[in-house]
Amino acid sequence: MLSRSSKKYFSIFNQIKYFISKLNINERKYFDLILRGIIPRPQYAFGIFFASSIASQLGYKKISVCEFGCWEGEGLLDLEHYSAEIEKLFNIEIEIYGFEGGDGMPPPIDYRDRAYQYSEGEMKTSKKSCLDSLKRSKLIYGNFKETVPDFIKNKKFSPIGALFIDADYFSSTKDSFKILDHDNKLPKVFLYFDDLNFSSNFTGELGAINDFNQKNKSKMETVPELSETMSLYWKKWNFLAKRFYLLHNFSHPKYNERYINPFYNNLDKNYQK
Ligand SMILES: C[S@@+](CC[C@H](N)C(=O)[O-])C[C@H]1O[C@@H](n2cnc3c(N)ncnc32)[C@H](O)[C@@H]1O
- Rounded to whole angstroms, the Cα distance separating 190 from 45 reads 12
From the list 251, 164, 247, the residue with the least C-alpha distance to 209 is 247
Ligand 1, atom 19, residue with closest C-alpha: 172
pLDDT, average across residues 30-49? 98
74 CA: nearest ligand 1 atom? 9
- Residue 103 Cα to ligand 1 middle (Å): 9
The packing angle between helices 74-90 and 42-57, to 10°, is 40
Cβ-based neighbours of 126, under 8 Å, separated by 6 or more: 72
From the list 54, 35, 40, 36, the residue with the least C-alpha distance to 11 is 40
Start-to-end Cα distance in the chain:
37
Instruction: Evaluate whether 266 touches 28 at the Cβ level (below 8 Å).
Output: yes
- Rounded to whole angstroms, the Cα distance separating 168 from 208 reads 11
Domains of the chain: 44-265 (3.40.50)
Check if 175 has its Cβ closer than 6 Å to any atom of ligand 1: yes
Ligand 1, atom 8, residue with closest C-alpha: 75
pLDDT at 265: 85
Phi, psi of 138 (to 5 degrees): -105, 120
- Residue 159 Cα to ligand 1 middle (Å): 23
The per-residue pLDDT for range 146-164, each reduced to its tens digit, is: 999 999 998 899 999 999 9
The per-residue pLDDT for range 231-245, each reduced to its tens digit, is: 999 999 999 999 999
Three-state SS string across the chain, please? CCCHHHHHCCCHHHHHHHHHHHHCCCHHHHHHHHHCCCCCCHHHHHHHHHHHHHHHHCCCCEEEEEEECCCCCHHHHHHHHHHHHHHHHHCCEEEEEEEECCCCCCCCCCHHHCCCCCCCCCCCCCCCCCHHHCCCCEEEECCHHHHHHHHHHHCCCCCEEEEEECCCCHHHHHHHHHHHHCCCEEEEEEEEECCCCCCCCCCHHHHHHHHHHHHCCCEEEECCCHHHHHCCCCCCHHHHHHHEEEEECCCCCCCCCCCCCHHHHCCCCCCCC
pLDDT, average across residues 85-107? 97
- Rounded to whole angstroms, the Cα distance separating 224 from 245 reads 10
pLDDT at 128: 72
Check if 113 has its Cβ closer than 6 Å to any atom of ligand 1: no
Check if 71 has its Cβ closer than 6 Å to any atom of ligand 1: yes
67 CA: nearest ligand 1 atom? 6
pLDDT, average across residues 49-71? 98
The per-residue pLDDT for range 187-226, each reduced to its tens digit, is: 999 999 999 999 999 999 999 999 999 999 999 999 999 9
Ligand 1 mutation target, pool 7, 97, 112, 168, most atoms within 8 A of CB = 168
Instruction: Evaluate whether 102 touches 124 at the Cβ level (below 8 Å).
Output: yes
Residue 73 — left, alpha, or beta (φ > 0 → left; ψ -120 to 50 → alpha)?
left
Whole-number Cα distances in Å, 52 to 66, 88, 242, 267: 14, 10, 20, 17
pLDDT at 270: 61
Q: Strand pairing of 138-141 and 93-100?
A: parallel
